Amino acid sequence: MPERTLTGFAAAPGLAAGPAVLLAASGADDRVTVPLEGRQSQLDGALQALAAAAAQLERIAGDLREEGRGAEAEIVETGALMAHDPGLEAAVSELVLKGGLTAASAISQAAEAAADQLAAIPDPMLAERADDVRSLGRRAATIAAGGRDERVGGVLVAAGLGPADVAELGPEVEGVALAAGGVTAHAAIVARSLGLPMVVGLGRDVLDLVEGETIVVDGSLGRLVRYPDPGRLAQARSERERRNQARATAVARRLEPAITLDGRRVKVLANASSLAEVREALEQGAEGVGLLRTELLFLAAQAWPDVETSFRFLAPLLASLQDRVATVRLFDFGGDKTPPFLTGAKGRGVELLLENPQALRDQLEAILRAAQGVALRLLVPMVTRVEQVVAVRQALSAVLRDRRPPALGAMIETPEAAHRAAEFARQLDFLSLGTNDLTQLALGLERESSGTSPATHPTVLRLIDATMRAGRGAGIPIEVCGEAASDADAMPVLVGLGADELSVGAARVGEVREALRTLNFAACQELAQRSLLGQTGHAGGESL
Ligand code: PEP
Ligand code: MG
């Protein structure tokens, strides 16, 4: 049978292969009407199931805390609190006693109704809690229906999952594929921090999979492959093995510097959009955050986040960095990151912000307030003209008052910016190469649908090289924060071109630090020169 690919969204990177494990439905049966005399015992059962679900969640949270994963523990604890919510209990009670629903059905319906209410609130943080309530409902309904609690290994396939469901998955789960879900949902955040490959938004087709059929989930490209050929399976299995080994080594060597065999020191920072990712990155030895994507949490927002909303998101995250580098990128809305309030708006990143000066001032104020004690760097996304960073600097000085000015940098991720890199470098304190957008734009690919990102294509490398030279000329550091920074083929080329810092996904930090220790800088430089001329073995470069 030829391979068949389902396409969704890349929620947590990595390849996973194994038998599909279809998550059973909750066992709720809406067609049954319980006779009057049986309703009280159904209600007792429902309340016991809610209490049991809360106890399970508290136990999971406790285990997470013991493992030092406090951020995830907090997320799971929220679910336990919801199980004790009197509003939820009252709704369940009414559905059972008046409506004659079974315990499982009543819990499912009450949880769904509560989740729908939360999802309708125009506050992204509260709206995301909807998933937590649904997850709690599924858990409690399964208990009420006497559901199974066995652990089966493989790739978990489900309509949707809550963060606690993901946090509870044991090592026997290789990866997760969901019909629904978004990349910013808490479930995805937990998966990323666990290094568990996850694809979401695959659509209802994924629920037609047959229990036990072998599948491959590619959490980096957002795909699920049915009927995988033997080569793909072997690749997935070896990638999983490599990831496990890499993490163990990384944690053990977290305090050692990342330095090439011939002495070139490269800083390794993390890309993050959640507290859980920052924690995982630090555990793996990250020297700080090189890219904080501030927009991801607000993709369902109905308005530009105000100072308070941004502050609530940023404060715990930056506090966890203590005195390390915190590179906070201004909202990069637009393209595939367009929230409802910007529907129809043209432009992307800084362009949209400059059209909404109050939103820019609010975000700057929130960042400055939250960044007490960290080495703050502000990063401007999607610049094309130097006037844009000049305008951001003016807005910054207007809100700065007596606070210390942060370092200001720009993402070089459009060909226009790369061509003007020297001008940008003169105005700024650092530059950050966004190879994701740069590659797609330079090669005319569609970022939202393209499955490849050949950053080592000579056309792209020439833009990267020009940017590196501009940075060196101005004496400012150059970071690479696109996915190429953790790509085994591209990373040595980027180091050879002179990258001072690599900022990579939280779960990749240790692996990249380890890889740097095996490189020879002089050989990387030589490889980079050949790559610029297109003289390497293949378009994607060659490994050292
Ligand atoms: C990039 O374009 O390389 C980048 C890091 O930005 P984002 O992926 O958030 O667009
Ligand atoms: Mg980008």
Q: Is residue 539 part of a domain?
A: no
| Cβ(481) – ligand 1 distance below 6 Å | yes
In a mutational test of the pocket of ligand 1, which residue from 289, 383, 384, 436 has the highest number of ligand atoms less than 8 Å from its CB? 436
The two tokens of residue 508 are: 């990749």
Ligand 2 centroid to 307 CA: how many Å?
24
Q: How far apart are CA 339 and CA 336, in angstroms?
A: 9
On whether the CB atoms of residues 418 and 463 are closer than 8 A, the answer is yes
Residue 468 one-letter amino acid: M
Let me know whether 222 and 305 are in one domain. Answer: no
On whether the CB atoms of residues 222 and 10 are closer than 8 A, the answer is yes
CATH of the domain at 418: 3.20.20.60
Q: Is residue 86 part of a domain?
A: yes
273: confidence class by pLDDT, cuts 50, 70, 90: confident
DSSP type of residue 259: B
CATH of the domain at 22: 3.50.30.10
For residues 425-430, average pLDDT = 98
Ligand 2 centroid to 509 CA: how many Å?
19
DSSP type of residue 37: G
Q: Is the pLDDT of residue 116 over 90?
A: no
For residues 387-404, average pLDDT = 96
- Residue of 155, 148, 136 lying closest to 55 (CA atoms): 136
On whether the CB atoms of residues 200 and 178 are closer than 8 A, the answer is yes
On whether the CB atoms of residues 163 and 189 are closer than 8 A, the answer is yes
Let me know whether 88 and 211 are in one domain. Answer: yes
Q: How far apart are CA 461 and CA 469, in angstroms?
A: 12
Let me know whether 268 and 204 are in one domain. Answer: no
The sign of the torsion formed by the CA atoms of 315, 318, 323, 328 equals negative
Q: Is residue 252 part of a domain?
A: no
Percent over 90 (pLDDT), the chain: 55
Atom 1 in ligand 1: which residue has the minimum CA distance? 434
Let me know whether 217 and 266 are in one domain. Answer: no
Q: Is residue 521 part of a domain?
A: yes
Let me know whether 145 and 270 are in one domain. Answer: no
Lowest mean pLDDT among 60-64, 91-95, 146-150, 178-182: 146-150
| Cβ(463) – ligand 1 distance below 6 Å | no
| Cβ(349) – ligand 1 distance below 6 Å | no
Residues in the chain: 544
21: confidence class by pLDDT, cuts 50, 70, 90: confident
Let me know whether 266 and 225 are in one domain. Answer: no
Q: Is the pLDDT of residue 513 over 50?
A: yes
Let me know whether 332 and 467 are in one domain. Answer: yes
Let me know whether 349 and 480 are in one domain. Answer: yes
| E strand map for 121-245 | 154-158, 173-178, 198-200, 214-218, 223-226
| Cβ(48) – ligand 1 distance below 6 Å | no
What is the per-residue pLDDT for 270? 94
Q: Is residue 354 part of a domain?
A: yes
Number of domains in the chain: 2
Let me know whether 216 and 292 are in one domain. Answer: no
Let me know whether 10 and 152 are in one domain. Answer: yes
Q: Is residue 72 part of a domain?
A: yes
| Cβ(482) – ligand 1 distance below 6 Å | yes
| Bridge partners for 328 per DSSP | 292, 378
Q: How far apart are CA 454 and CA 72, in angstroms?
A: 34
| Cβ(435) – ligand 1 distance below 6 Å | yes
Ligand 1 atom, smallest distance to 483 CA: 3
Ligand 1 atom, smallest distance to 482 CA: 3
Atom 8 in ligand 1: which residue has the minimum CA distance? 436
Place of tokens 């056309």: 459
Ion ligand 2, residues whose Cβ is below 5 A away: 413, 434, 437
27: confidence class by pLDDT, cuts 50, 70, 90: very low
Sequence-separated (6 or more) residues with CB below 8 Å from residue 523: 492, 496, 544
| Cβ(77) – ligand 1 distance below 6 Å | no
Q: Which domain holds residue 67?
A: 4-231
Ligand 1 centroid to 159 CA: how many Å?
28
Q: Is the pLDDT of residue 57 over 50?
A: yes
Catalytic, 186? Answer yes
536 phi, psi to nearest 5 deg: -90, 175
Ligand 2 centroid to 469 CA: how many Å?
21
The one catalytic residue among 84, 186, 419, 524: 186
231, 250, 284: which is the final residue of a domain? 231
45 phi, psi to nearest 5 deg: -60, -40
Let me know whether 309 and 199 are in one domain. Answer: no
Q: How far apart are CA 41 and CA 144, in angstroms?
A: 11
450: confidence class by pLDDT, cuts 50, 70, 90: very low
The torsion region of residue 102 among left (phi > 0), alpha (psi -120 to 50) and beta comes to beta
pLDDT tens-digit readout, 326-342? 999 999 998 877 888 99
The two tokens of residue 275 are: 């507290």
81: confidence class by pLDDT, cuts 50, 70, 90: confident
276: confidence class by pLDDT, cuts 50, 70, 90: confident
* pTM for this predicted structure: 0.69
Q: Is the pLDDT of residue 78 over 70?
A: yes
Q: Is residue 134 part of a domain?
A: yes
On whether the CB atoms of residues 47 and 83 are closer than 8 A, the answer is no
The one catalytic residue among 419, 457, 481, 538: 481
Ligand 1 atom, smallest distance to 329 CA: 9
Let me know whether 294 and 218 are in one domain. Answer: no
Ligand nearest to the CA of 291: 1
Coil, strand, or helix at residue 33?
coil
Ligand 1 atom, smallest distance to 335 CA: 10
